Chains A and B, each alone.
Chain A
């Protein structure tokens, strides 16, 4: 009993130390973001934005902590999901409620079409390659909905093993990291408007933190649309998870006396931060209607600074969390499945973004 308590206390202490590491790397990111453009002349230094510094510093920190044997102990403090969700709630404050309402329609259509086609393709391909049903469910949910959060939700629904979840999460991050830079670059090569680029990023990149990083690299309008599209996909997790729970209970495991999941299960799986995102937009839209334009802008700028801090902490955590070892353990088949699905997602999301968001303005 005493041993367990001591163990819990030291785990908590290490997690707190992990948070301190994230905060220090976040502060370093902010420092570099502000000072590098003054140290170097030319456009390149100015073009490098905070997601790049944050991810690179996170990966460097990861390498150092892994080499010194501290990474595993501190990883309880690398709360990517918490940081990104808090950042997204604050992001809601800078998006007018009217924009959310206008974009919700196309975002829901895009979400349903993308999730259905990419999920079914991944499920089929993984089946053809003989991958375990639970891992199939995790891979399909992660690549079609919203990366790590979807994998966690699906893991709960199908009772997946911890290692399967760790492996899927590593795959998500391994694919998301290059996408953060690749998709904004392709968007500029194709000459896409910020809104279409945002819809493409939100529809294509899996994990919410990476969507936000890529959106921020393109610009504020792209970030707004990318976030709305991704938040909509997040909200659809509940439906997919219910379908998976029922499918595994009735078709795969054939649990005797299994009950169909109901509205309670949907609410339990619903990502509550989506409500926070909309609530922040409602509060800020109301607030801006009660004060002068200058006062309103100054106040929302403070909320934006806080949002950037939380996003930086999330991007640093992405770098810190990345693990190559669990990828090596699982072999090539899931990588092929995930890669093929990512390519399909990239092409479909571009088509749908062009179709649904051309002419859309923030």
Chain B
């Protein structure tokens, strides 16, 4: 049987929660940036 002696940490609920929060954060920030580009707040030439 495969084993790792140091496996004493609690389950990874926290990681999955962070993961799904990052999902929403990425969605909101990505769409917000796109809208800012479309309405001209971020004009051509501003991004290096």
Please indicate the chain A residues that have their CB under 8 angstroms from the CB of B16 in the complex: 152-153, 155-156
Contact A161 B7, CB 8 Å, known A153-B16, A280-B34, A284-B34:
yes
Min Cβ gap B47→A in Å is 4
Min Cβ gap A283→B in Å is 6
Chain A interface helix/strand/loop/mixed? helix
Contact A90 B33, CB 8 Å, known A153-B19, A272-B24, A309-B47:
yes
Q: Are A306 and B33 in contact, with the CB atoms below 8 A?
A: yes
Please indicate the chain B residues that have their CB under 8 angstroms from the CB of A165 in the complex: 12, 15
Q: Are B3 and A132 in contact, with the CB atoms below 8 A?
A: yes
Chain B residues touching A, range: 35 or more
Chain B interface helix/strand/loop/mixed? helix
Contact A280 B1, CB 8 Å, known A85-B23, A161-B7:
no
Q: Are B9 and A301 in contact, with the CB atoms below 8 A?
A: no
Q: Are A272 and B1 in contact, with the CB atoms below 8 A?
A: no
Q: Are B2 and A334 in contact, with the CB atoms below 8 A?
A: yes
Q: How far is the CA of A327 from the CA of B27 in the complex (A)?
A: 32
Q: Are A89 and B26 in contact, with the CB atoms below 8 A?
A: yes
Q: Are B2 and A301 in contact, with the CB atoms below 8 A?
A: no
Of the candidates A30, A162, A330, the one whose C-beta lies within 8 Å of that of B10 is A162
List CB contacts (< 8 Å) of A11-65 with chain B.
27, 30
Contact A162 B12, CB 8 Å, known A298-B44, A306-B42, A331-B2:
yes
Q: Are A275 and B27 in contact, with the CB atoms below 8 A?
A: yes
Q: Are A329 and B6 in contact, with the CB atoms below 8 A?
A: yes
The answer to whether A302 has its CB under 8 Å from any CB of chain B is: yes
Q: Are A276 and B26 in contact, with the CB atoms below 8 A?
A: yes
Contact A93 B11, CB 8 Å, known A131-B2, A135-B2, A301-B44:
no
Q: How many A-B residue pairs have CB under 8 A?
A: 139
Please indicate the chain A residues that have their CB under 8 angstroms from the CB of B9 in the complex: 161-163
Nearest neighbor of A81 in chain B, beta-carbon distance: B22
The answer to whether A315 has its CB under 8 Å from any CB of chain B is: no
Q: Are A129 and B2 in contact, with the CB atoms below 8 A?
A: yes
The answer to whether A360 has its CB under 8 Å from any CB of chain B is: no
List CB contacts (< 8 Å) of A85-111 with chain B.
85-90, 92-93
Min Cβ gap A328→B in Å is 11
Please indicate the chain A residues that have their CB under 8 angstroms from the CB of B47 in the complex: 302, 305-306, 309
Nearest neighbor of B35 in chain A, beta-carbon distance: A283
Contact A271 B23, CB 8 Å, known A161-B11, A276-B30:
yes
Q: Are B27 and A302 in contact, with the CB atoms below 8 A?
A: no
Min Cβ gap B23→A in Å is 4
Min Cβ gap B2→A in Å is 4
List CB contacts (< 8 Å) of B26-41 with chain A.
26-31, 33-35, 37-38
Assuming A152-B15, A272-B27, A331-B2, what are 9 further A-B pairs, CB within 8 angstroms?
A82-B26, A85-B26, A130-B1, A135-B2, A167-B4, A271-B23, A302-B43, A303-B33, A306-B47
> Mind listing 30 A-B residue pairs with CB under 8 Å?
A85-B22, A86-B25, A86-B33, A87-B30, A88-B26, A89-B26, A90-B33, A92-B30, A130-B1, A131-B2, A132-B1, A152-B12, A152-B15, A153-B19, A156-B11, A161-B11, A162-B11, A162-B15, A164-B4, A167-B4, A272-B27, A276-B26, A283-B35, A283-B38, A298-B44, A299-B44, A302-B42, A303-B34, A303-B37, A310-B30
A residues apposed to B, CB below 8 Å = 27, 30, 79, 81-82, 85-90, 92-93, 129-132, 135, 149, 152-153, 155-156, 159-165, 167, 268-269, 271-273, 275-276, 279-280, 283-284, 287, 298-299, 301-303, 305-306, 309-310, 329-331, 333-334
